[in-house]
Amino acid sequence: MVQSFKDKTVWITGASSGIGEALAYEFANEGAKLILSARRMDELERVKEGCVKAGSRDADILTLALDVTDETAMAEKVKAAHAHTGRIHMLINNAGISQRSLCVDTDMETYRKLFDVDVFGQIALTKMVLPIMLDQKEGHIAITSSVAGKIGVPYRTGYCAAKHAVMGFYDALRAEMANSGIRVTTITPGFIRTNISKYALKGDGSEFGKTDQNIAGGMDVTACVKVIMDGFHKGKPEIAVGEGREMSALWVKRLFPKRLFKMVENVPKPE
Ligand SMILES: NC(=O)c1ccc[n+]([C@@H]2O[C@H](COP(=O)([O-])OP(=O)(O)OC[C@H]3O[C@@H](n4cnc5c(N)ncnc54)[C@H](OP(=O)(O)O)[C@@H]3O)[C@@H](O)[C@H]2O)c1
């Protein structure tokens, strides 16, 4: 069955940039009502304008500042999101930050920050939205994990650990939600051309500050979200998206894990 998003209320986190922003335009184009969240309100307003250009009515889009690490403020944000249309049909847990540093150079504080954003922030928001969806007896929760959620690569020990963690969490949640009317989708992107490496953390917690060679050579973000939307329409539990060698690495890991462990030793230093 093809899932339609016309008039559905879709909440996207990390909507101020990259994959979340591009997803917002796709949903706007399909007639969804949107809640756009991230920390930077000015960027969210810019994305909202783009959604209106893509076909949304201004009143159908709520921009809602949200820091996913701020659990104290989260309950009020969930109330505001729910009040937008009275329903939340879909939550896309897409906010995230990456890492560019070797383990030996990475402070524990940096690992904690990665986990706060990429793992606990996602779980906290999901736990608050889940009762609403259970009441509705319908809903769809997605998480943007990563190929790094299936494969461990150098310079991303914390990011890989965090993305593996959410992969496990949402796979388990999918099983728990069977027969509840709530669908769970994990998204596994490879390298996609976004701001992800600019805001990635170095070992001391400062920003990496540039687009590295992998991201610069990655898939176009609009092409990426077309694949994701196709997966949503088809109700896929897992959506892999990318076009580089990292996608074949998923198969190598499954079939020849020792070969994969050798291959990733040659991942170059990000520059
Ligand atoms: N690009 C890739 O190659 C790639 C590959 C695999 C997976 N992913 C995943 O895809 C997701 C989206 O990343 P992207 O590639 O689109 O990168 P991006 O362009 O840097 O976007 C990241 C988004 O996350 C938001 N964000 C960061 N920290 C946040 C926080 N504490 N609270 C709320 N929002 C926060 C940012 O908004 P504000 O700064 O305004 O808060 C921004 O909207 C991430 O989960 C990332 O790990 C990306």
- CA atoms of 106 and 125, how far apart (whole Å): 27
By alpha-carbon position, which residue is closest to atom 46 of ligand 1?
Answer: 96
Q: Return the pLDDT at 229.
A: 98
CA of 258 to the centre of ligand 1 (A): 31
25 is catalytic: no
Q: Where are the domains of the chain?
A: 9-266
Per DSSP, helices labelled H in 4-156 are: 18-29, 41-53, 71-85, 108-115, 121-136
CA of 260 to the centre of ligand 1 (A): 27
Structure tokens at 186: 């994990």
Q: What is the DSSP string of 189-257?
A: E-SBSSSTTTT-B-TTS-B--S--HHHHTSB-HHHHHHHHHHHHHTT-SEEEE--SHHHHHHHHHHH-H
Structure tokens at 252: 């190598």
Residues with CB under 6 A from ligand 1: 13-20, 38-40, 43, 66-69, 94-98, 117, 144, 146, 189, 191-192, 194-196, 199, 215, 218
Per-residue pLDDT of the chain (271 residues; tens, 9 = 90+): 678 999 999 999 999 999 999 999 999 999 999 999 999 999 999 999 999 999 999 999 999 999 999 999 999 999 999 999 999 999 999 999 999 999 999 999 999 999 999 999 999 999 999 999 999 999 999 999 999 999 999 999 999 999 999 999 999 999 999 999 999 999 999 999 999 999 999 999 999 999 999 999 999 999 999 999 999 999 999 999 999 999 999 999 999 999 999 999 999 999 9
From 155, 159, 170, 199, the catalytic residue: 159
Q: Return the pLDDT at 2.
A: 73
Instruction: Give CATH superfamily name and number for 9-266.
Output: NAD(P)-binding Rossmann-like Domain (3.40.50.720)
